[in-house]
């Protein structure tokens, strides 16, 4: 900021402020908190914790997803001729199917809670990673904007990738038309969003800051992890979720608002799950 001859500070020109804002979004400075861990023992403990957490949650899902994609590539039919379901029946008996759906949803919430607990247990205030309740309206509005920003282009990318034979036909729901289908799909969307945003954004990016990684390097690692457990959908699913990870991760790095990401992700999944269940077999453009 420049100063006048009288010693008073002059406001920066709009063009200078715009360049400064753009630079901070493209190359954000590392925040002072949490501080970088320097002792070897503590750094090794963080690395071990990361490996264990992702080995039992989304990291293992990424490995399974890669194997699923390899299996699809080795089949005689092309990717575009194959289908994969996200929410499918787990039992031929209605009540047992409902129970298994709820158990799976509970596991997703437990995964997210594990990341939050480990941060809290390690001395990280959960408010500092965006788990705060004093900005509900703002987070809901921001989440709706994030859903629109990612959801509409994401659908276009999926349809393009599928038409090019680079993606399987993704069926967000193949559940029977039972009385509990709609609430289960909504709960599934909430579980997915909380687990993913808590683990690959709030938890992972915080731990990488403690290890001293630069913001951009950590962002790319988080985005690739997010894309990896969507590989079962095909290459379009991988690319689309990497892009989503870059956008969502950067927003969190600049705002520390995790609930907005959870809301945005949940809205995308609710629309996809319920929309597909209602439109399946009724529109020709939906694979």
CA-based nearest residue to 280, from 165, 185, 145: 185
CB atoms within 10 A of CB 202: 26
95-121: burial string, b at 16+ Cβ within 10 Å, e else: eebbeebbeebeebbebbebbbebbee
Q: How many angstroms separate the Cα of 16 from the Cα of each of 3, 7, 29, 245, 285?
A: 15, 20, 18, 29, 46
Cβ pair 255, 138 in contact under 8 A? no
Distance CA 50, CA 226 (A): 15
Instruction: Give the three-state DSSP class for 33.
Output: coil
Separation of alpha carbons 271 and 57, rounded Å: 25
pLDDT at residue 7 above 60? no
Backbone angles phi, psi at 137, to 5 degrees: -65, -45
SS3 state at 173: strand
DSSP string, 6-21: TSPBPPPPHHHHHHHH
Distances (CA, A) of 165 to 78, 231, 233: 7, 14, 12
Give the pLDDT score at 283: 65
pLDDT band at 22 (very low <50, low <70, confident <90, very high): confident
Share of residues in the chain with pLDDT > 70 (%): 91
Q: CA-CA distance, 117 to 202, in Å (whole number)?
A: 12
Give the pair of three-digit tokens for residue 218.
């950590």
Give CA–CA dist 114/112, Å, rounded.
5
Give strand ranges (E) for 7-135: 83-87
The pLDDT tens digits for 132-177 are 888 888 999 999 999 999 998 998 999 999 999 999 999 998 888 8
At 4, list the tokens: 């006048």
Question: 246: closest CA among 273, 227, 266, 268?
Answer: 227
pLDDT of residue 13: 67
Per-residue pLDDT tens for 93-123?
Answer: 889 999 999 999 999 999 999 999 999 999 9
Among candidate residues 240, 209, 245, the one with its CA nearest the CA of residue 225: 245
Q: Which residue has the higher pLDDT, 8 or 80?
A: 80
Mean pLDDT of the chain: 91
Q: How far is CA 229 from CA 15, 161, 242, 252, in A?
A: 41, 17, 10, 21
- Phi/psi for 217 (5° steps) reads -65, -45
Question: pTM of the prediction?
Answer: 0.90
């Amino acid at each position: 900021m420049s100063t006048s001859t009288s010693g008073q500070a002059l406001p920066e020109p709009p063009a200078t402020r715009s360049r400064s804002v753009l630079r901070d979004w493209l190359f954000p400075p590392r925040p002072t908190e949490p501080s970088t861990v320097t002792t070897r023992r503590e750094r090794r403990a963080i690395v071990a914790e990361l490996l264990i957490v992702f080995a039992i949650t989304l990291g293992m899902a990424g490995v399974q997803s890669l194997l699923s994609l390899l299996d699809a590539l080795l089949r005689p039919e092309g990717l575009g001729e194959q289908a994969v379901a996200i929410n499918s029946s787990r039992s031929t008996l209605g009540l047992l199917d409902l129970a298994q759906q709820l158990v799976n949803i509970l596991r997703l919430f437990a995964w997210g809670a594990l990341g939050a607990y480990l941060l809290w247990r390690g001395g990280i205030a959960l408010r500092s990673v965006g788990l705060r309740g004093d900005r509900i309206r703002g987070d809901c509005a921001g989440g709706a904007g994030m859903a629109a920003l990612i959801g509409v282009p994401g659908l276009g990318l999926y349809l393009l990738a599928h038409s090019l034979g680079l993606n399987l036909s993704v069926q967000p729901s193949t559940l029977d038309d039972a009385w509990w289908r709609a609430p289960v799909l909504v709960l599934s969307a909430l579980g997915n969003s909380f687990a993913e945003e808590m683990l690959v954004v709030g938890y992972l990016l915080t731990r990488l800051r403690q290890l001293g990684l630069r913001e951009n390097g950590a962002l790319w690692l988080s985005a690739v992890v997010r894309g990896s457990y969507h590989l079962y959908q095909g290459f379009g699913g991988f690319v689309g979720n990497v892009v989503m990870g870059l956008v969502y991760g950067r927003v969190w790095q600049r705002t520390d608002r995790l609930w907005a990401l959870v809301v945005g992700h949940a809205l995308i999944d609710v629309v996809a799950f319920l929309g597909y269940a209602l439109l399946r077999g009724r529109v020709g453009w939906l694979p």
